[in-house]
Amino acid sequence: MKVLSVNVGLPRKIVLDGRPVSTGIYKAPVDGRVKVGKLNLARDAQADLSVHGGPNKAVYAYPSEHYAYWQRELPGMELPWGAFGENLTIAGLLEDEARIGDCFRIGTAVLMITQPRLPCYKLGIRFSRSDMPDRFLASRRTGFYLAVVEEGELGQGDAIERISRDPNGISVAAVVRLHLERDHQDIRLLERALRSAALPSGWRKRFQRYIEEQQEVGKGQRFPGHETRQNRSGPHET
């Protein structure tokens, strides 16, 4: 597992439907060592802090393996590293192996996986396609956010070393599946997600609501011993 590219960018103003919009979606690769702070990388920032950024979304990582899929889906479009707004374009760590609460040392920094990305309309701005946020989420190739446990610095080519696992950790792929498959929920997996202390409060409230909804209508499913599933349209999920 390693970092292929470190990408940063400051918010810029664009015009959307005749009105100005500020967005930090545009990231570009940088050379050398980059400082990792509690809220972001050096020379990087988010535009709307009500929904982006913060301690649980300090750094966004996206697997380079997904770029081949998007090249097929978006023929003719240039996709340089950082095209999806990620700070770290990585190799060797996909959503089915990336577990909430797992900690990694990258360079001298320690980062912890917190949640998948739920894209907003600004991803559509980046690709000049209003359908892009829906396509991105439906692909289940979401990447994931990380919190900064220990500040430090990192750079292109750094190894990604897993240094601890959350015993209650649930994979990023499974979190996405639980979010998308509202009509056939696995209550046991939802309960497991709630036991992960690293899962942010917004996700915890959402999953608690899902459990209550399923219990109310009597549709909750419990699948003993089976928390792994193959999804034909996206990455393997656990």
Condensed to tens digits (0 to 9), the pLDDT of residues 131-150 reads: 999 999 999 999 999 999 99
Residue 95 near residue 141, CB atoms below 8 Å:
yes
Whether the CA torsion 134, 120, 113, 82 is positive or negative: it is positive
Q: Please determine, for residue 175, whether its predicted confidence score (pLDDT) is greater than 50.
A: yes
Listed in order, strand segments (DSSP E) in the chain are: 2-8, 12-16, 19-23, 28-29, 34-36, 59-63, 88-91, 103-106, 109-116, 144-150, 152-154, 160-164
Give me the CATH code for the 2-164 domain, please: 2.40.33.20
Q: Please determine, for residue 230, whether its predicted confidence score (pLDDT) is greater than 70.
A: no
Mean per-residue pLDDT for 56-63?
Answer: 97
Which residue ranges make up each domain of the chain? 2-164
Share of the chain above pLDDT 90, in %: 69
**Closest alpha carbon to 8 in 62, 88, 123:** 88
The per-residue pLDDT for 227 is 44
**More confident: 48 or 5:** 5
Confidence of residue 217 (pLDDT cuts 50, 70, 90): confident
The per-residue pLDDT for 237 is 39
Condensed to tens digits (0 to 9), the pLDDT of residues 90-105 reads: 999 999 999 999 999 9
